[in-house]
Chain A
């Protein structure tokens, strides 16, 4: 299915959850924050929050800054 991930078009295998998406991308869920369609997904809800076709997803982490 087609989604927009961090501003880029991306094909993902089938419908999946946020937790499964992070696993698919090999990202440590404890160190990121995820937004689906401009709403932040609470970490406790990764397992039961679906990612659906055409969703706009942002995955962010902390980087160096002042």
Chain B
């Protein structure tokens, strides 16, 4: 069954987007990327360490197969995020950005007013903007109106591993959005990813759940299968939930009756 995942005219075959942070080593990251089947990975934009020569992350990402999505992590104002997005565009030679404007240090929840503003500015500047947002359907609608190429509501706080905290909101966001909905952040294990996809998400973005697992490569494969399973279940259409049993085997012809 052909079920391509299209964002801003670019087609992906995998609906799993993964990060590049917090892996035990670059080698493990590369192996986990391979196991995940992801075709897009997020990267952060940071100052070069001028005092010493360090290994480049890019030596461990096959950019002929994997599309780089620079983020604006740790930016707390629209201005910082816009500036970082422009640097990321020059470093990566693509106009895509995972836009983050953080509003609170402890929860890493977004400053949604600044996020909408930054989305508007960057879209006008020719960017394909994928904003990380909270699971608020109203904000998602504003982001879409501002020209976002997808909306990326969180399932739970970044790195929390709590799973999808507001499944109904994800469902509502999917129902109302004309752009892809990518659940970004909060996934802890494979079933969380499957739940996100069963709710109708078009994709899932995760970092810590894979990088922080005891065996990141095995978890990456687990996530790949979970995203595929959840997507298939969503497309298949699940049975309604009922309070009482309905027998699966015939009630007639029972022995001795």
B19 within 8 A of A: yes
Question: In the complex, which residues of chain B have a beta carbon less than 8 angstroms from the beta carbon of A20?
Answer: none
Check if A60 sits within 8 Å of B91, measured CB to CB. Answer: yes
Distance between A34 CB and nearest chain B CB, rounded to angstroms: 8
Residue of B whose beta carbon sits closest to that of A65: B44
* B92 CB to nearest A CB, Å: 7
CB pair A61 B46 closer than 8 Å: yes
In the assembled complex, A32 has its CB within 8 A of some CB on chain B: yes
- Min CB gap B256→A, angstroms: 61
Knowing A25-B50, A59-B48, the reply to whether A65 touches B43 (Cβ < 8 A) is yes
In the complex, the answer to whether B68 meets A65 with C-beta atoms within 8 Å is no
| 41-66 of chain A: CB within 8 A of chain B | 41-43, 58-66
Any chain B CB within 8 A of the CB of A1?
no
Number of B positions contacting A (CB below 8 A) = 38
User: Does any Cβ of A come within 8 Å of B246's Cβ?
Assistant: no
Interface string of B68-98 (1 = CB under 8 A from A): 1011010000000001001111111000000
**Smallest Cβ distance from B143 to chain A, in angstroms?**
19
Report the Cα distance A51→B90, complex, angstroms: 18
B20-63 contacts to A (CB < 8 Å) = 20-23, 29, 42-48, 50, 53, 56-58
C-alpha spacing A52/B111, complex, angstroms:
37
Q: Check B207 for interface membership: any CB of A closer than 8 A.
A: yes
Bound form: Cα–Cα A32–B54 in Å: 13
Closest 3 CB pairs of A and B: A65-B44, A66-B207, A66-B19
Jot down 15 A-B pairs with beta carbons below 8 A, ordered by A: A7-B47, A26-B53, A38-B83, A40-B90, A61-B45, A61-B56, A61-B57, A62-B58, A64-B29, A64-B44, A64-B57, A65-B19, A65-B43, A65-B207, A66-B208
Given A38-B83, A60-B87, 4 additional A-B pairs, CB 8 A: A40-B86, A62-B58, A64-B43, A66-B206
